[in-house]
A and B are shown apart, each in its own frame.
Chain A
Amino acid sequence: QQPVQSPQAVILREGEDAVINCSSSKALYSVHWYRQKHGEAPVFLMILLKGGEQKGHEKISASFNEKKQQSSLYLTASQLSYSGTYFCGTEGGDYKLSFGAGTTVTVRA
Chain B
Amino acid sequence: EADIYQTPRYLVIGTGKKITLECSQTMGHDKMYWYQQDPGMELHLIHYSYGVNSTEKGDLSSESTVSRIRTEHFPLTLESARPSHTSQYLCASSGPPGMDFGSGTRLTVV
Contacts and interface: CB of A to CB of B under 8 A. Distances in A.
Contacts of B103: 41
B42 A97 contact: no
Interface in A2-41: 2, 32, 34, 41
Contacts, number: 55
Interface string A56-96: 00000000000000000000000000000101010000011
A97 B99 contact: yes
Given A42-B101, A87-B43, 13 more contacts: A2-B42, A32-B99, A34-B99, A43-B101, A45-B98, A85-B40, A95-B50, A95-B56, A97-B48, A97-B94, A98-B45, A98-B58, A102-B42
Interface in B55-86: 56, 58-59
Q: Please classify how large the interface on chain A is, using the bins under 10, 10 to 19, 20 to 34, 35 or more.
A: 20 to 34
A1 interface: yes
